[in-house]
Amino acid sequence: MNSQSRSHCRTLRRGESGYEDARRGAMWNARVPDRFPAVIAQARDVYDVIAAVRLAKREVLRVGVVSGGHSWSGNHLREGGLLLDVSRLNDLTIDRDAMRATTGPGRKGHELAGMLAKQKLFFPAGHCRGVAVGGYLLQGGYGWHSRELGPACMSVVGLDIVTADGRLVHASADENADLYWAARGSGPGFFGIVTRFHLQLYPRPQVIGMGVQTYGREMFDDVFRWLHEVGSEVPRSIELQALMSRDAPRVRGAGLLVVAPIFAESYRQAWHELAFFRKNPLRKKAKLSIPFLPCGINFMYRGVGQHYPANHRYAVDNMWTRAAIEDLLPGLNRVADTLPPAPSHMLWMNWSPPTQRPDMAYSVEDNTYLALYSVWQNAAEDEQFASWPVDCLRPMQELSSGCQLADENLGQRPQRFVTEENLSRLDELRAKYDPERKFYSWMGRPQ
């Protein structure tokens, strides 16, 4: 492919007009790191991507890739390299008969979900509007109905990838199978540029809804004990969550919003599978209790979105755990006692994964997910709020089985994110596909 003659890739060099807007525009988190790529290349198609890789080779620059810029840590912003912005690669095709879609990495998950819904189709896109599929699918992808369908990367059937030597290749179970293996779970450490994802689609669930309960601070221990007790028995159609914040409905001060979103085939199924929630023995002490609220996915997006406002500064950290609740409670109480003002919050999620998954890089997950999000507006308050997630989770490290790459903060607190075996295999594949280490690796690891 003669990419140079076809490429009109816009490039901005540090110091040029437009550069700083492009750098800041590549971050959703308003807390933009003080890391400055030498060049920002804004690709519009695959030819531009190949041309940018060649430019990086000529100028001996390492490459960071950005699709939607929702990496909390700004993994793509590195000092001195080339930032390749593929957000404009966002075309989408849907083949209803084949139950397949293809999408560029810059397409937003909620747009994909919306277009599929019009055709009564479904894909486990993320819980929030605005997140692009590029980073989301590479790191795993926890979306609505993901307990049933698995992390979204399990529904990736193929990828078009530009490699470090500037070749466009296809990866699937039958072609470049090792790249296909790596692309499902390596997230911000992937050593290639995905220009298109090929996705497996599903029929749209007939019924969407949720049960809701809220509790005051005095109930936290009992509620967490109950959540842990029921977790492994919760049907896969339900993603049981508890969100700790200072703005839970009908609660003053720190409260817990316990939500049981369900994706079902009938109202009968939904009602039946939510029985554990309706029968929660603590519900009489709830400040608010709704056994079942039928709703659409847009209502879900709005509800979640309230906790992640745009144009705010964020710091995050997370852990998977299977620890006993009595061991976790001291840490959870420390989180509650130090909880910053809303919209800062802690998310407790029941994941309880199946024992078997397909062979892919994605390999660390556990029964319970804990994630802390510190959210504030003024840069002057960075010192006050930025370390809260790490300060709370570091003392709980011995209870952790590793972290999710979705909410990674590896630069500040390196953690295990795939099994040792898979990490070694990823290192070997990086040496094979990117021998000159053109692509940045995960932060917190040798580059």
Ligand X SMILES: Cc1cc2nc3c(=O)[nH]c(=O)nc-3n(C[C@H](O)[C@H](O)[C@H](O)COP(=O)(O)OP(=O)(O)OC[C@H]3O[C@@H](n4cnc5c(N)ncnc54)[C@H](O)[C@@H]3O)c2cc1C
Residues that bind ligand X (CB under 6 A): 28, 65-72, 75-76, 86, 105, 126-128, 131-132, 134-136, 138-139, 141-143, 187-188, 190, 193-194, 308, 406
Give min distance, CB of 308 to ligand X, in A: 4
Residue 225 vs 413, nearer CB to ligand X: 413
Question: How near is the Cβ of 127 to ligand X at its closest, in Å?
Answer: 3
Tokens of 7: 């490429």
Nearer to ligand X, 280 or 409 (CB): 409
Q: How far is the CB of 126 from ligand X (least distance, A)?
A: 3
**158 vs 216, which CB is nearer to ligand X?**
158
d(CA 132, CA 105): 7
Task: Report in angstroms how near the CB of residue 375 gets to ligand X at its nearest.
Answer: 10
SS3 284: helix
Please identify, using beta-carbon distances, which residue of 321 and 409 lies nearer to ligand X: 409
Minimal distance, residue 140 CB to ligand X, in Å:
6
- Non-local CB neighbours of 228 within 8 Å, separated by 6+ positions: 324, 325, 328, 368
CB of 253 to ligand X, least distance (A): 25
Q: Rank residues 131 and 210 by Cβ distance to ligand X and give the closer one.
A: 131
Q: CA distances (Å), 41 to each of 47, 220, 379, in order?
A: 12, 49, 28
- Rounded to a whole number, what is the largest CA-CA distance in the chain? 70
* Cβ-based nearer residue to ligand X, 132 or 243: 132
Among 42, 44, 40, residue whose Cα is nearest residue 6: 44
For ligand X, the closer of residues 70 and 184 by Cβ is 70
DSSP H helical ranges for 154-250? 177-183, 220-230
Nearer to ligand X, 70 or 228 (CB): 70
What is the smallest separation between the CB atom of 405 and ligand X, expressed in angstroms? 7
Could you say which DSSP state residue 219 is in? G
Do 368 and 311 contact (CB within 8 A), yes or no?
Answer: no
Beta partners for residue 102, in sequence order: 93, 198
63 forms bridges with which residues in the sheet?
A: 82, 439
- Look-up of token digits 């937003």: 108
Q: To the nearest whole angstrom, how small is the minimum distance from the Cβ of residue 237 to ligand X?
A: 18
Strands 255-264 and 193-200, by their bridges, are unpaired
Q: What is the Cβ-side half-sphere exposure of residue 122, based on CA atoms within 13 angstroms?
A: 18
Would you state the torsion angle of the CA atoms of residues 372, 377, 378, 383, taken in this order, to the nearest 10 degrees?
Answer: 0
φ, ψ at 95 (rounded to 5°): -115, 95
Phi, psi dihedrals of residue 242, rounded to the nearest 5°: -130, 125
